[in-house]
Amino acid sequence: MQEIEVTVRFCETDALGHINNTSYFIYLEEARIKFFESLGYSMDKDEWNFIMASTKCDFVNQGYFNQILTVSTYVTKIGTKSFEINHEMICSQTGQLIAKGNAIIVFFDFTDQKSKPIPDLLREGLKSYLVHN
């Protein structure tokens, strides 16, 4: 499992004072970037081989300005050409689960515009983050 911390900025909250629903997707993106970097992939667009097929976020409890969220990322499924990663966002100060998210990521060849089998080296890296639910 990989973890990052995100401090909720004022601009990420709404008129009701809690985290705006769109901000959670920014936190998930940041966690995914750090996850890919941990696997040895840079954000160089010329070397990028991933495309997102699906993403979602379930809002469990309200989050607020200046909270520190610990975003955990782990793999729950590895297929032939795609894999699924899940996230949990926990308020570091209270330990309360704030949100859960997931994404289906496809290994993709942008030149040929089609999915390709996950390479063995990537598959091994993904297995190191695999959690069975």
Please report which confidence band the pLDDT of residue 58 belongs to, taking 50, 70 and 90 as the band edges.
Answer: very high
Distance CA 124, CA 106 (A): 16
Whether the Cβ atoms of residue 17 and residue 79 lie closer than 8 Å to each other: no
Mean pLDDT, the chain, rounded, equals 93
Given a cut of 80, is residue 51 above it in pLDDT? yes
Give the mean model confidence (pLDDT) for residues 87-111: 96
Copy the structure tokens of residue 116.
């390709």
Angle formed at CA 84 by CA 38 and CA 14, multiple of 5 degrees: 85
| 3-28 confidence digits (pLDDT tens) | 999 999 999 999 988 999 999 999 99
The single-letter DSSP state of residue 43 is -
The single-letter DSSP state of residue 45 is G
Options 1.25.10.10, 3.10.129.10, 3.90.650.10, 3.30.2270.10; which CATH number does 2-127 get?
A: 3.10.129.10
What are φ and ψ of residue 26, in 5° steps?
A: -65, -45
For the entire predicted model, the pTM comes to 0.90
27-31, 44-48, 77-81: segment of lowest average pLDDT: 44-48
What pLDDT was estimated at residue 133?
Answer: 62
Distance CA 113, CA 98 (A): 37
